[in-house]
């Protein structure tokens, strides 16, 4: 993200009115390798050169877009689970998968905290950015965000989603202990990223499992741990991604420290604006798969125009995007159609 894009993002979060809406998209391995056509998904992960070239290609193709978090060093869903010992399954043209390390519907896992300096894929994730930093900065960008999967998301990969959700009810004490260890780990991981790159002034956490919970369980099992992770460093942007159900967590986001929320396209943006309150900006929310990926450029323009109409052309605390990360198959023409319509 360039300095001007960062300043525009801060302006949106601070409630300043922009002449034209800022457009931003969460982009990572589900979209970038397929869009570029220059590397398989596996090569994108395995080659620092392929990763950097693919990201630079996207940034040059869409220079007015604030890609989030920006030069995301990731290995699909595998990065954080790998630190706890998950076996990782890799494919040439599909996303990798982290296998559970234990499955029990009656008891949560008893975990010990990994060393973020040495565990799993974490050193490779960080070193890739260290190596790429000169090229990133030469292009006019900087590394702005510490990024991690959220505590419930990590727990669901370590146990299995169904098993984790059942353990919350059958073994709440053990679940809190497990989430406490995972959050201790996340605090260390976020702090290490920020210590490595002084330009980091944002935290991005992704946790769709929060969308599986009712409001009481969000308050008990999600909010305290997310707040600890979001406030582990001094940051100006605290971006939370949950494109499952966002209605039960929306009113609690401010208390967690969140000030930018990426949510499901199934929630009307006007309704979500009311639910989150004044202190949380929104990142969304046209349909990512059915419109941005599978629609025509005219379909995209229509969806963006309808979003502008729903907002009453008041773009305060809104970053124009899709309801989730950019999915596989989004073509160049559709992204340009989005940007063109947003700028009208």
For tokens 């008891």, the residue is: 107
Q: What is the pLDDT of residue 273?
A: 94
CATH of residue 225: 3.20.20.210
DSSP-derived 3-state class of residue 106: coil
Which residues does 44 contact at the CB level (< 8 Å), separation at least 6? 29, 32, 33, 50, 51, 54
On the 0-12 / 13-18 / 19+ scale of CB atoms within 10 A, 125 is: buried
Mind giving me the DSSP string for 149-205?
E-HHHHHHHHH-HHHHHHHHHH-HHHHHHHHHHHHHHHHHHHHHHHHH-TT--EEEE
The total domain count for the chain is 1
Q: Angle 111-204-243 (CA atoms, 0-180°, nearest 5)?
A: 90
Tens of pLDDT, residue by residue over 209-221, are 999 999 999 999 9
Q: Which helix (H) or strand (E) holds 32?
A: helix 32-36
- Collapsing DSSP to helix, strand or coil, 246 comes out as coil
- Distance separating alpha carbons of residues 338 and 318, to the nearest angstrom: 15
Q: Would you tell me how many other CB atoms lie within 10 Å of the CB of residue 227?
A: 17
Q: What is the DSSP string of 253-318?
A: HHHHT--EEEE-TTS-HHHHHHHH-TT-EEEEEE-IIIIIITS-HHHHHHHHHHHHHHTTT--TTE
Which residues, at least 6 apart from 14, have a Cβ–Cβ distance to it below 8 Å?
none
Residues 8 and 57: beta-carbon distance below 8 Å = no
The pLDDT, as a whole number, for residue 70 is 97
Q: Give the residue numbers spanning the domain of 301.
A: 3-342
- Please give the Cα distance from 327 to 292 (Å, whole number): 8
- Quote the pLDDT of residue 104: 84
pLDDT at 103: 79
Contact 263, 323 (CB under 8 A): yes
Dihedral (CA of 328, 74, 228, 183) sign: positive
The pLDDT profile of the chain, 344 residues, written as one tens digit per residue, is 999 999 999 999 999 998 889 999 999 999 999 999 999 999 999 999 999 999 999 999 999 999 999 999 999 999 999 999 999 999 999 999 999 998 788 899 999 999 999 999 999 999 999 999 999 999 999 999 999 999 999 999 999 999 999 999 999 999 999 999 999 999 999 999 999 999 999 999 999 999 999 999 999 999 999 999 999 999 999 999 999 999 999 999 999 999 999 999 999 999 999 999 999 999 999 999 999 999 999 999 999 999 999 999 899 999 999 999 999 999 999 999 999 999 99
């Amino acid at each position: 993200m360039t300095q001007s894009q960062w300043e525009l993002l801060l302006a949106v979060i601070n409630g300043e009115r922009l002449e034209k809406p800022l457009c931003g998209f969460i982009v990572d391995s589900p979209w970038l390798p397929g869009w570029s056509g220059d590397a398989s998904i596996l090569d994108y992960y395995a080659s620092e050169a392929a990763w950097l070239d693919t990201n630079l290609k996207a940034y040059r193709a869409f220079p007015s877009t604030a890609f989030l978090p920006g030069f995301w060093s990731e290995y699909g869903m595998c990065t954080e689970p790998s630190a706890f010992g998950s076996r990782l399954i890799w494919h040439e043209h599909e996303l990798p998968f982290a296998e559970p390390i234990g499955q029990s519907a009656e008891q949560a896992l008893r975990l010990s905290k990994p060393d973020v300096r040495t565990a799993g894929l974490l050193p490779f994730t960080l070193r890739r950015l260290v190596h790429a930093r000169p090229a990133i900065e030469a292009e006019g960008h900087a590394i702005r965000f510490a990024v991690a999967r959220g505590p419930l998301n990590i727990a669901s990969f370590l146990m299995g989603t169904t098993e984790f959700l059942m353990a919350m009810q059958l073994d709440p004490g053990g679940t809190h202990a497990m989430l406490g260890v995972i959050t201790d780990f996340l605090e260390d991981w976020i702090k290490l990223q920020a210590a490595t790159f002084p330009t980091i002034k944002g935290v991005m956490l992704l946790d769709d499992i929060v969308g599986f919970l009712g409001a009481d369980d969000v308050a008990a099992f999600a909010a305290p741990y997310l707040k600890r992770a979001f406030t582990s460093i001094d940051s100006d942007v605290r971006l939370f991604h949950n494109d499952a159900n966002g209605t039960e967590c929306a009113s609690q986001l401010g208390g967690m420290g969140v000030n930018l929320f990426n949510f499901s396209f199934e929630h009307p943006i006007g309704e979500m604006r009311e639910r989150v309150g004044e202190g949380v900006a929104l990142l969304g929310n046209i349909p990512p798969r059915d419109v941005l990926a599978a629609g025509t450029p005219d379909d995209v323009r229509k969806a963006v125009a309808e979003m502008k109409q729903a907002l009453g052309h008041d773009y305060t605390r809104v970053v124009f995007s899709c309801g989730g990360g950019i999915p596989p198959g989004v073509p160049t023409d559709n992204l340009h159609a989005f940007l063109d319509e947003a700028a009208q």
